[in-house]
Structure 1
Amino acid sequence: MRSDHVRLFQTLPHACGYYPGRTAQNLVIDPAAPQLDRLYGAALDHGFRRAGGHLYFPHCPSCHACTPCRIDVANFKPDRSQRRCLKRNDDLIVRECMAGYNSERHALYSRYLRTRHPGGGMDEAEASDFRRFLTAPWSPTVFLELHEGERLLAVAVTDVCITGISAVYTFYDPDEHERGLGTFAILQQIELAKRRGIPWVYLGFWIENHPKMDYKRRFKPLQVRTAEGWVDLKRD
C-alpha cells in the first residue's frame, strides 16, 4: 500500500480508550476510496485495523503504546492454559456464518456491552450500531458463531483476506465467563486460518502490561510491527 495511491486523513484528538486522561488520534484511509476491498490485505500488513467501514492506525503525537500484532499461524502451538480452554469448550459447535444483523446476535451483543462496557457509550446499541460497527459492504467478513446446542454463546467477527485473518471483535454471553470464550474464539480463528492456508491472524493492537491488552502475548509466536517491520515478540 502506497500513500500516493490512496488518501490518508488524520482524526481530531479524542479521548483515549485505553488510558484515562490521554487523548488519541488516528490515521484513516479514505473511507470513500473505491478499492478498499483490494487495499485491505496490504493495510493489515501495514498495521491498520478495521472498525466499521474505516481502516485506521493509531497516530498519537505523544504516545506510541499501541503496537500492531499478529499470530504466526504455521508455528502456533497452544500452551497449557489454551489447551484447557479447548477442552472446556469441546461441547460447543462452531459455525462459519454469513456476516450480518439478526435479532439473536443483536440481543447477545447488547447483553455483552451492558455487562462488559457499562456507561461506555456503546451499551445501548441499536440495530444500526451493530451494523455500522461490525460490518462493512466491502469487507470480507464472516461470523464464527459458537453454539451450545441451539443456544448462541458467542460471535467472533472475522475478516478473511488472502494473506491474513483479522480478529475484529468478539462478543459473548457474559454469564459464561468461566469458559474463556474470548480465548476460544481466537483459537478457532487460528484453526480457520490453518484450514485456508492463511499465514497470519491479526489481533489488532498489543499494549505492553496493559490489563486489557497484554493477554495477546500468550498466543505464541506473536509478531509485532516496528519501524523496521514485523519482528518476533521476545518470549517470556
Structure 2
Amino acid sequence: MTIKNNIDELSFFLSQSHDCSYFPDRQAKSLFTSDSTPLTTEQYSKLNALGFRRSGDYVYRPHCESCNECTPARVPVHKFEFSRTQKRTFKHNQDLQSKLVPIQFEQEHYQLYERYINARHADGSMFPATPEQYQDFILYPYPFAHLVEFRLKQRLIAIALIDILVDGLSAVYSFFDPKEEKRSLGSFIILWQIEEAKRRKLSYVYLGYWLKNCQKMSYKAKYRPIELRYFDNWRQVKLID
C-alpha cells in the first residue's frame, strides 16, 4: 500500500445537503477527503491548518453555499494568558494524574463515555451511547490520535481524545464524570492541552470551529489570545465571551 505524503495527491468530495448541526433552520454541506489510504501525521497537520477537522475516520471542512459561520479557531500557546478563573480551575485540578494511553477499547473508558452522553447530551444525536458508536467516533486508529486519561488517585474521571500534529495539538473530544461538575473538567482539559503543547514545544492548540451566533461554541472565546482563520489566513482577534 502506498502512503501519500502530499495533500495535493488527496481526493475530495462534496457531500449532499444535510441538516446543520448548529442551526436547526439551516442546511449544510461538507468537503471530505475520500482516499482509501490512511492519512499520515504530516498530511493531516497540513489539512488541520487549512481548517479541516475529523470525526472518527471522517476528515472534513464545512463548505456551505450561503453560510460561513464555522470559523477554525486555535490558541497560540506561547502567547496564552490564564484568566483568574482559569488559574483557579487549573489549580483545583492539580490533584489529577494524566496519562497518554493507546487507542483501544477499554470497558472502563466506555462506561465513563456512556454516563457522560446520557447525562449531558440526552437531547442530541449521540444519544443513546452504544459501544459501536463509541468505537467509530473515538477509537479510529490514526497514527496521530491519542487518548489521555485523567485519574483522581485510581478513579478515572475524564478522558481527552487528542491529535498530536506537527505544529500543535488538536482537541478532538473529551468526556468526564458528570458528578464532577465543580471541577470544570471541560475547561481544565483544554488548559492541560495548552500546557502540554508548550511542554512539547508545539505552537498551537486547535479548538475546532467557533461560530459567532452559536451559544454552545462561545466558550472558545475564553482562551486568549485566539486566532481565527478568515479568507485563508489565520488572524489574532478579540472575541467577547
TM-score interval (norm. to shorter):
over 0.9
The SS at the match of 1:74 is coil
Identity, in percent, stands at 38
Hey, what does 1:215 align to over in structure 2? 219
d(CA) in 1 for partners of 2:13, 2:67: 19
Which residue, out of 5, 9, 17, partners 2:21? 17
| Unaligned ranges ≥5, structure 2 | none
Hey, what does 1:103 align to over in structure 2? 107
Distance of aligned partners of 1:217 and 1:162 in 2 relative to their CA distance in 1, 3 Å threshold? same
Which residue, out of 113, 116, 119, partners 1:112? 116
1:133 maps to 2:147: no
**Pairwise CA distance, 1:37:** 3.8
d(CA) in 2 for partners of 1:100, 1:229: 36
Hey, what does 1:202 align to over in structure 2? 206
Hey, what does 2:50 align to over in structure 1? 46
Distance of aligned partners of 1:35 and 1:96 in 2 relative to their CA distance in 1, 3 Å threshold? closer
1:86 maps to 2:90: yes
Which residue, out of 175, 185, 188, partners 2:179? 175
Distance of aligned partners of 1:21 and 1:2 in 2 relative to their CA distance in 1, 3 Å threshold? farther
1:148 maps to 2:167: no
The SS at the match of 2:216 is coil
- The Cα offsets for residues 149-172 of structure 1, whole Å up to 9 and x where unpaired, read as 111111010110121210000111
Distance of aligned partners of 1:194 and 1:152 in 2 relative to their CA distance in 1, 3 Å threshold? same
- The Cα offsets for residues 94-114 of structure 1, whole Å up to 9 and x where unpaired, read as 222222220011001011111
| Unaligned ranges ≥5, structure 1 | none
Larger deviation, residues 151-160 vs 17-26: 17-26
- The Cα offsets for residues 118-158 of structure 1, whole Å up to 9 and x where unpaired, read as 14232222222112111323341121211111111110101
Which residue, out of 173, 186, 190, partners 2:190? 186
Alignment of 1:28-43 (within 5 A): 28-43=32-47
d(CA) in 2 for partners of 1:161, 1:235: 26
d(CA) in 2 for partners of 1:190, 1:144: 14
- The Cα offsets for residues 3-43 of structure 1, whole Å up to 9 and x where unpaired, read as 74211111111111111121211101114144444310001
| Aligned amino acid, residue 210 of structure 1 | C
Paired residues of 2:38 and 2:142 also in contact (CA < 8 A): no
The SS at the match of 2:215 is coil
The SS at the match of 2:90 is helix
Task: Tell me the TM-score normalised to structure 1 length.
Answer: 0.94
Which residue, out of 215, 226, 229, partners 1:225? 229
Paired residues of 1:6 and 1:33 also in contact (CA < 8 A): no
- The Cα offsets for residues 21-79 of structure 1, whole Å up to 9 and x where unpaired, read as 21211101114144444310001110100110111101111211110000001111211
Distance of aligned partners of 1:171 and 1:119 in 2 relative to their CA distance in 1, 3 Å threshold? same
Hey, what does 2:167 align to over in structure 1? 163
Runs of 4+ residues over 3 Å off in structure 1: 1-4, 33-38
Task: Tell me the TM-score normalised to structure 2 length.
Answer: 0.92
**Pairwise CA distance, 1:2:** 7.3
Paired residues of 1:155 and 1:170 also in contact (CA < 8 A): yes
Paired residues of 2:53 and 2:208 also in contact (CA < 8 A): yes
Which residue, out of 14, 31, 38, partners 1:27? 31
| Aligned amino acid, residue 172 of structure 1 | F
**Pairwise CA distance, 1:234:** 2.2
Distance of aligned partners of 1:40 and 1:121 in 2 relative to their CA distance in 1, 3 Å threshold? same
